[in-house]
Amino acid sequence: MSSISSSDSRLGLRSPDTVMRLERLGSAFPTRLSFGRSMIRNLIADGVEVRRSRWSMDPQGFGRATYTLELGGHTYSLIAFSNALDDADRSDRVIAEAWDASFALFDGVPESADLDRLEANLPRQEAGRYSEKELVISRSNKSVRLFSHVAQALAKGEQPDVDMVDSIGYLMRTTAVYGNGKFGIADRFVFSDRPGLGGPFAAEMLTVWLIRNFTHDLVEHVAAAMGGENAVRLDPAIKRHLGIGNSTGLGMAPFLVYHPELIHNWLNARETAIARVRAIPSLTPAQAQQLQDLLQRAKTHVSQWHVPDAIQTARLDVLRAELSAMEQPDWQADYPLQRLIDWSLSQSVECQELIAALCLEPFGALLDDLTETMAFNAPKTFNAAQTVAEIKAMIAEHYDWCEGFDLEQQPSQQRFWYVSEAKLEPRLGDRYAEAGADKEQPLDIARQVQWLLDDLAGFDPAAPLLDVLASHPEHRNIAKRIQAAQQRPFAEVRDNLIDQSMRPIDLLRCKLAFFGAVKFDPKSDLWTRITLFQGAPLVDELPMRGDDWWLATKPVLSSA
């Protein structure tokens, strides 16, 4: 268990040495700054209405559908194709070749020719051909067990089993959501300056939220075809609890290393938010009540979070015990959130991160402006005239954490990252048991910094970096990172990413928490399943339900 020094001033941010460790990144919870949350707020603020403009499905739920909305003065459409799929072909692997459904977020309103073109290509995903009119493409597979159960229950005029709904959490799970120019679709700059889509992954989050609505419509359609007049629709509370699942593996893990400027913006925004609420001197009665209600919701959510993974189960057991034993917070005390956060420092890292996320919830007016700082559109720069002395000073200030790793020891460089030629997926190899280290991807930041320091020792302190790179061009990448990190203290994961004990699942959870993921369900150290938009407003209740859906809990039906 690690803790945070409470000696910082109320306005101070937590140290990057604390925040950027794998143990803490791998304990992240979604917050009101998460991309799904900010996207929903944008829809509410713009008065968005979603219209199902096309529904051509056979009784088994196979066919095409289109949903259309206006956002920020632009029209967008989700195009969906549902296909028959043999169980033997259903796979969550990114290299699969067939899926239950495929989707595109389309720029505008598609014409018949667009639908025909996409029907021939979308079900093929990577093998298809696309245009700049497609902003995002995706595909998903059913949770066959839950989809069948829900359809059969509704067909008989009954609601599905709430415990089963809660234990699975989704009717379909996406296996990839592609944006930013993949496979010929629109590059992000095409729409990044449009209102509502400017934030990180805003278009992808909009797509996933619309896919969620499609899954609700699809199961009700299948139930109506099965049950006729006996069929009923999903209870809104159950429907709201059905999010979208996602299976995510090693392919996402390197993102945090390859985009240091962007990651800094995400973490800096969150840490600034935490610092702001720590500085709140007192609470209104309404804020105190909201925090108390949210604390109870968090306890309930954690009590309903069960996974087979032994490591995460042990962490959840500790977290439940800590929340159960905590004393009632004194919401009327001076600086009550600082007090609560300081209390958490003696608890597990999971508890510390949960409490920090909790404390942000009631303060949208104070914090939501930070979402505007989370994108990164500035050009990258590189100063080759910087002197050896200057870059050594930067390393001493921002990369001193690299000195703590003895990279001469075999376990500390046991692993290497590479891209599988056969599967085109990021993989981890054993440097001392497998071939392929010559294809290593540059995620070994600590080792690169140590190598650079070794070679800098042979140059005059006044020599320009240009001279160093002329003799050692292999250091250009790490030199650029070091220069960029000077103004971005949260840009680097401050751990050894090639150590034998490194768990990629920690990188995955960090990124997925910023998407808004809940119910992390690790299947190994290498991949996890999660749920997105669980508890989020449905398409017909955006203004009514609003933004209050942090850590959804199992629904209680009015008839229960």
Residue 375, pLDDT score: 92
pTM: 0.94
H helix or E strand, kind and range, residue 537: none
Percent of the chain whose pLDDT exceeds 70: 96
Q: Which residue bears the tokens 């809990």?
A: 553
Q: Which residue bears the tokens 């809940």?
A: 518
Taking 70 as the threshold, does the pLDDT of residue 280 lie above it?
A: yes
Which amino acid makes up residue 355? I
Residue 93, pLDDT score: 63
Residue 545, pLDDT score: 83
Q: How far is CA 535 from CA 298, 445, 555, in A?
A: 13, 39, 9
Which amino acid makes up residue 293? D
H helix or E strand, kind and range, residue 171: strand 170-178
Q: What residues does 66 pair with on adjacent strands? A: 54, 79
Average pLDDT of 199-208? 96
Average pLDDT, the chain: 93
Residue 9, pLDDT score: 37
Taking 70 as the threshold, does the pLDDT of residue 423 lie above it?
A: no
Please answer whether residues 492 and 485 qualify as being in contact, where contact means their C-beta atoms are separated by less than 8 angstroms.
yes
Taking 70 as the threshold, does the pLDDT of residue 414 lie above it?
A: yes
Sign of CA dihedral 284, 285, 288, 294: negative
87-145 residue pLDDT tens: 776 766 666 678 999 999 999 999 999 999 999 999 988 889 999 999 999 999 999 99
451-489 residue pLDDT tens: 999 999 999 999 999 999 999 999 999 999 999 988 899
Sign of CA dihedral 254, 260, 265, 268: positive
Residue 126, pLDDT score: 86
Residue 355 backbone dihedrals phi, psi, to 5 degrees: -65, -40
- Rounded to the nearest 10 degrees, what angle do helices 476-485 and 260-278 cross at? 20
76-100 residue pLDDT tens: 999 999 999 887 767 666 666 789 9
Q: Are strands 63-71 and 51-57 parallel, antiparallel or unpaired?
A: antiparallel
Taking 80 as the threshold, does the pLDDT of residue 554 lie above it?
A: yes
Taking 60 as the threshold, does the pLDDT of residue 192 lie above it?
A: yes
Domain boundaries, the chain: 1-29+260-370, 36-249, 388-485
Residue 44, pLDDT score: 97
